[in-house]
Amino acid sequence: MRQASKAIREAAEIYHPSFPGVHVCGADPTETFPITVADFPLRTDAEARRLWGLCRDECANADGEPYDLVVDLNFGEHDECVADFPMSRQMLDRLRAVIERGTSALNDARR
């Protein structure tokens, strides 16, 4: 039982999505637990949905293609993952650029 508790604590240290936000997760080296690869906290559910949609449009793998990451859309009354899409690790820099452009546009619109 103590080993299970230790494993759960260790997993919580390496998996930490934001709500609302866009969260990229992969598997730990043993493929036992999910790990946070990148996390993009956002101010509102609407921002999270919009930016996740832009990321999906530019970065999602086509059906049936191999992938090693999953991009989650996190928000809601109960802080949950409401949608996800598969992505290859090679697309991570592009996803970061999409998030950066999107948040910059949202900030400009607020001014």
Per-residue pLDDT of the chain (111 residues; tens, 9 = 90+): 566 566 666 666 788 899 999 999 998 888 888 899 999 999 999 999 999 999 999 999 999 999 999 999 999 888 899 999 999 999 999 999 999 999 988 777 776
CA-nearest of 83, 25, 87 to 11 is 25
Q: What is the pTM of this model?
A: 0.86
CA-nearest of 52, 49, 50 to 38 is 52
CA distances from 54 to 57, 74, 84, 88 (A): 5, 15, 13, 16
The conformation of residue 40, written as its DSSP 8-state character, comes to E
